[in-house]
Structure 1
Amino acid sequence: MAGRTGTETVPGAETPSTPSGAPQRLLSAAVEAFAEHGFHATTTRDIAGRAGMSPAALYIHYRTKEELLYHISRLGHERSVRILTEASARPGGAAERLSAAIGAFVRWHADRRATARVVQYELGALADEHATEIRGLRRRSSEILRAILAGGVAAGEFRIDDVRTTARAMLSLCVDVARWFDPAGPESSERLAARYADLALRMAGASR
């Protein structure tokens, strides 16, 4: 895993359903620990210590380490669905909606890279019931993007032979940003988002 990234609040912190206080501190500490060491190499003692709490206090709020991962993953994937839903509802044509969707998705993965790495790359550690729920949210994100692309094809804005594969490729490119993006590097998240939005339009064969 990448090195220490600094504490991030968990995704979706602006929503009423997101925990606050001690539960929020534990989620943020878990994001930091999982991003730095990976889920399996992280202990509950490490998470509690980062949150300034005792290990026993952690279990008051979360029964297991996996439950912490589940909450982080659920909030992150719900945020992904909101980003894509809001973009798909924008006025204008399919090109504007696709550009907005990819740009916002890339910026989230760059600006919240520690959270995004945990959300996207620790899925295998989830319990079966939780994994099923998260897969449903991931399918919903894919469906929203496919609908934007299919709408563009129907309107004559895009030239795509295989909408499903194109959507999968676009989402994969966005997700991978969390793995390598460096905020100290030469390119800002805003500029990267614009470049990826332009790349998505080219992949879609958007008329210029």
Structure 2
Amino acid sequence: MKKSAPSPRTAPTAAPARWNNALAATPDPHALRKRALILAAGRVFGDKGFHNTTLDDIASALSVTKPALYRYVQNKHEILYECHRMAVELAEEALEQARQLHADAPLQALRSFVALYIRKMTSELGTCVMLTEYYSMTAEHNERIQQRRRVIDRSLRDMVAQAVERGDIAPCDPKFAVFFIMGAINNINRWFSDQGPAAGPDIAETFADFALQSLKPTA
């Protein structure tokens, strides 16, 4: 009897990448997976709102099970805290680099901080719009973040005050100057998109120029 030809096999459908391709073959897979969790959660928070987002939503975004998330975080409030902690770390890194680049030029150090921070924020945090969501954090988490932000704020005010003393800019209130600049930066995550027409480095340079232009130069 003639054997029938085997039926052609259909190619298997590719499964979603678990943990957004944060693979285990890394020096610290736990840290990498936790970072992938935080970034994915930040995007889901932005789409659905913090209070409307569940851990199931976050697990689905990562193509993992909800119990898998508990190896890294206890609840979504901890995730929100981690979003803010990552943002503060990026700001601290940018501030330190700006100081090293322009130790004797406070105004240029300020510009470098703005450019470096935006570059880091847009490349690593992407559309994590929850960075302005302070009131949903626990009181303890909020205080931890605010303590570190106050240190950054004082350093930036010192830069503005030093620029005034050197005659690089006209006298102004350093507090309001920093509020103005940081307010513009912190709002970027509300509208920035990796797929948008403007790339992060371009936005960084543009905002850095705006920051300097907002400080009235001396005659």
Fold shared per TM-score above 0.5: yes
1:76-114: CA deviation from partner (whole Å, max 9, x where unpaired): 112112212321332351232122111122333444331
Q: Is the alpha carbon distance of 1:40 and 1:137 closer, same or farther for their aligned partners in structure 2, counting shifts above 3 Å?
A: same
Does residue 48 in structure 1 map to residue 59 in structure 2? yes
Are residues 1:114 and 2:159 paired? no
Please name the residue that 1:163 is paired with: 174
Q: 1:103 aligns with which of 115, 118, 123?
A: 115
In the TM superposition, what is the alpha-carbon distance from 1:192 to its structure 2 partner?
A: 2.5
Counterpart residue number, 2:151: 140
- 8 Å Cα contact 1:85/1:144 also seen in 2: no
TM-score, normalised via structure 2 length = 0.77
Amino acid across the alignment from 2:214: M
**Equivalents in 2 of 1:18, 1:139: separation in Å?**
32
Q: How does 1:6-85 map to 2 (within 5 A)?
A: 19-85=30-96
Say if 1:149 and 1:163, in contact at 8 Å, map to a contact too: yes
Cα distance, 1:67–1:186 mapped onto 2, change above 3 Å: closer
Compute the displacement of 1:40 (Å): 0.8
Displacement of 1:17 after TM fit? 9.8
Q: What secondary structure, in the 3-state scheme, does the structure 2 residue paired with 1:60 have?
A: coil
Q: Is the 8 A contact 2:156 2:178 kept in 1?
A: yes
Partners of 1:151 and 1:20 in 2: how far apart?
39
Query: Which residue of 168, 182, 190 corresponds with 2:201?
Result: 190
Shift of 1:45: 0.9
My pick for the range that moved more, 163-172 or 56-65, is 56-65
Work out the number of aligned pairs and report it: 194
- C-alpha deviation, 1:207, in angstroms: 4.8
User: What amino acid sits opposite 2:48 in the alignment?
Assistant: H
**1:18 shift after superposition:** 9.9
Once superposed, which parts of structure 1, at least 4 consecutive aligned residues long, lie more than 6 Å away?
none
Contact 1:103 1:193 in 2 (8 A): yes
Asked if structure 2 preserves the Cα contact closer than 8 Å seen for 1:88 and 1:148, the reply is no
Q: Secondary structure at the match of 1:124?
A: coil
RMSD: 2.7
Aligned residues of 1:103 and 1:194 also touching (Cα < 8 A): yes
In structure 2, C-alpha distance between the alignment counterparts of 1:26 and 1:110, rounded to whole Å: 17
Which AA in structure 1 matches 2:146? R
Scaled by the length of structure 1, what TM-score is found? 0.80
Gaps of 5+ in 1: 1-6, 10-15
Distance change (3 Å), C-alpha of 1:191 and 1:206: farther
C-alpha distance in structure 2 between counterparts of 1:75 and 1:28, whole Å: 10
Render the CA deviation track for 1:144-186: whole Å, top value 9, x for unaligned: 2111111111111121321110111011111122222345554
C-alpha separation between the residues in 2 aligned to 1:188 and 1:196? 12
Q: Distance in 1 between matches of 2:48 and 2:59?
A: 15
